[in-house]
Amino acid sequence: MKAQSSFLSFFGWCFATVAFLLVSCVGSGGTATGPKADTLRVGWEGAGFWPPAAAIKDSGASPQLIKYVDGHLVVQDMYTLVNGTQSYRLFERALGNANWDSIALPTGVSFDIGWMVDSPYVYLGAAYQAKLFRYNIQQNEWKELPISLADSVQTGRGWFPKQPDAPYWVPFVLKYHDSLMVSIAAFGNSVALQLPRLNIWGMMEGGVWKGVLDSLNETDNFADVQEFHSKLYGATYMSGVFRLSSQRIWQKLPPPDYIVFQGDSSALGRSRSLEVMGDNLYVAYLGGAVYRWNETAQSWTNIAQCDSGRICYPKPYDNIALTHYKDRLIAAGISMPIPVWYNDTTGQWNYLSRETWQAAFPSKNDYTGPTYDMVVVGDTLYVAHERGILKLDLADSAVWTADTTDTRLEIVNP
């Protein structure tokens, strides 16, 4: 009886040990299902998306935009076709997985920058045709969402007539108060997406497309949009920041006191990105100027620093991406690929783990290329750099240490 009891005790110990090991394996991400988090080490590291060097050199393939939806990262990259025209592709990766998978577009559809995410969907505006598509990231399925171009839909100017040399595009799509909104633009034979020949907006409410009675320059378009205090704000390529009124009218906000860099005023009015952080709305302009919107005063406050108030960029034509983590604003751009964060208490910008940036790249010559976009998922910052996708653990307090080795925050010499 004692021997049997010892055997049972030994058997119970073995069973408990095996059960513990199984639970530990599943808990570490071995076979668990559902959204996971990426494993992280100290400092910057690659996130598995590295276009081959030959592809970057020969076809221009490089990540341009990165977004997060329903446990997945979605990346847009750009590549150049044999005829010299540029085209774009989409890739996705579930957090916790190692592999990136290509998202096959609907047959006969191409796109540019007209896409957004709203769980569990990716919304895609088509190029060369006024069509809108929705992709279910979990089911890998596309569905077309027809856009009505009926003459009865009024926009103040009416829907513009189709011209043979100016095909319709959908260069921007967004979600606002549970309603889809699209920008429908016409371009000439030489397509320059930032400057359409004619541009109008439509909003779907209750399954019906309605026109937006806009005062937006009809040959302008948005670079970014954000909802702030239940109102929609848009940063335009040429005309500053607009706000959508309750009457569905785009109203231009008062411009900030623009900063002229070295006498060059060509970047004035060219806003590039918006970011909402707490009770504040921020906008970044072409050339490095960053402003904070004061809702009460209806005015902008410059929060950049160095050299006439910009974030110390050596180039006046820099595109800037904005994001945030908790109460800290983060910025990066073409001339300054390593993200910097803004200390609202001191009014200073500091690098995020600058000392680990270069080592994160497969090749030592890659790290100086431009950063195009960023997204924060939980405690992780993902960066779309020309050479690939990088990630950083923002929960690590060491990455927020003030970097005083270069107070001008310049990566490329003027």
CATH number (domain holding residue 180): 2.130.10.10
Residue 56 has pLDDT above 60, yes or no: no
Residue 103 has pLDDT above 90, yes or no: yes
Residue 110 belongs to a domain: yes
Work out the average pLDDT over 391-402. Answer: 90
Work out the average pLDDT over 189-215. Answer: 63
For 177-253, strand residue ranges (E) read 179-186, 198-205, 208-211, 222-228, 231-236, 241-244, 250-252
Share of the chain above pLDDT 70, in %: 66
Q: Dihedral angle at the C-alpha atoms of 329, 330, 335, 338, nearest 10 degrees?
A: 150
Per-residue pLDDT band for 11 (boundaries 50, 70, 90) equals very low
Residue 330 has pLDDT above 80, yes or no: yes
Note the pLDDT of residue 196: 52
Q: Are residues 28 and 47 in the same domain?
A: no
Strand partners, 340: 331, 351
Residue 92 has pLDDT above 70, yes or no: yes
Per-residue pLDDT band for 257 (boundaries 50, 70, 90) equals confident
Least confident of 5-9, 252-256, 312-316: 5-9
DSSP 77-88: EEEE-TTS-EEE
Better-scored residue on pLDDT, 85 or 20? 85
**Surface-to-core class of residue 319, CB atoms within 10 Å of its CB (0-12 exposed, 13-18 middle, 19+ buried):** buried
Q: Which residue has the tokens 């916790």?
A: 96
Work out the average pLDDT over 390-408. Answer: 77
Sheet holding 388-393, edge to edge: 45-46, 388-393, 380-385, 371-377
Sheet holding 290-294, edge to edge: 271-277, 280-285, 290-294, 299-302
Q: Are residues 302 and 394 in the same domain?
A: yes
Residue 406 belongs to a domain: no
Q: Are residues 88 and 15 in the same domain?
A: no
Q: By three-state DSSP, how is residue 55 classified?
A: helix
Q: Name the phi and psi angles at 64, rounded to 5.
A: -115, -40
Domain that holds residue 25: 1-33
Whether 303 and 342 have beta carbons less than 8 Å apart is answered as yes
Residue 185 has pLDDT above 60, yes or no: yes
Q: Are residues 25 and 145 in the same domain?
A: no
Q: Are residues 262 and 232 in the same domain?
A: yes
Work out the average pLDDT over 402-409. Answer: 50
Residue 16 has pLDDT above 60, yes or no: no
Residue 77 has pLDDT above 50, yes or no: yes
How many domains is the chain partitioned into structurally?
2
Q: Are residues 263 and 143 in the same domain?
A: yes
Better-scored residue on pLDDT, 78 or 195? 78
**Surface-to-core class of residue 27, CB atoms within 10 Å of its CB (0-12 exposed, 13-18 middle, 19+ buried):** exposed
Note the pLDDT of residue 14: 42
Residue 83 belongs to a domain: yes
Residue 414 belongs to a domain: no
Work out the average pLDDT over 326-348. Answer: 85
Residue 270 has pLDDT above 80, yes or no: no
Q: Give the range with max mean pLDDT: 135-144, 169-178, 208-217.
A: 135-144
Note the pLDDT of residue 30: 33
Q: Are residues 226 and 353 in the same domain?
A: yes
Instruction: Say if strands 290-294 and 121-125 run parallel, antiparallel, or are unpaired.
Output: unpaired
Residue 232 belongs to a domain: yes
Residue 259 DSSP label = P
Q: Which residue has the tokens 């103040």?
A: 156
Q: Are residues 6 and 68 in the same domain?
A: no
Q: Give the range with max mean pLDDT: 89-98, 127-136, 331-340, 396-405.
A: 89-98
Q: By three-state DSSP, how is residue 173 classified?
A: strand
Q: What is the mean pLDDT of the chain?
A: 74
Q: Are residues 188 and 280 in the same domain?
A: yes
Residues 248 and 156: their CA atoms lie apart, in Å, by 11
Least confident of 67-71, 269-273, 277-281: 269-273
Note the pLDDT of residue 363: 79
Residue 138 has pLDDT above 90, yes or no: yes
Q: Are residues 123 and 25 in the same domain?
A: no
Residue 147, both tokens: 């856009």
Note the pLDDT of residue 267: 56
Helix (H) or strand (E) run with residue 206 in it: none
Residues 58 and 7: their CA atoms lie apart, in Å, by 68
Note the pLDDT of residue 380: 96
Q: Could you tell me which residues come within 8 angstroms of residue 151 by beta carbon, excluding any fewer than 6 positions away?
A: 158, 159
Q: What does pTM read for this prediction?
A: 0.81
Residue 227 belongs to a domain: yes
Q: Are residues 293 and 376 in the same domain?
A: yes
Q: Are residues 50 and 29 in the same domain?
A: no
Residues 355 and 76: their CA atoms lie apart, in Å, by 28
Q: Give the range with max mean pLDDT: 277-281, 363-367, 404-408.
A: 277-281
Exposure string over 278-317, b if 16+ CB within 10 A, otherwise e? eebbbbbbbbbbbbbbeeeeeebebbbbbbebbbbbbebe
Whether 243 and 225 have beta carbons less than 8 Å apart is answered as no
Residue 63, both tokens: 């990540």
Q: Dihedral angle at the C-alpha atoms of 323, 326, 328, 332, nearest 10 degrees?
A: -20
From residue 363, alpha-carbon distances to 46, 52, 66, 337, 368 in Å are 12, 11, 22, 16, 11
Per-residue pLDDT band for 223 (boundaries 50, 70, 90) equals confident
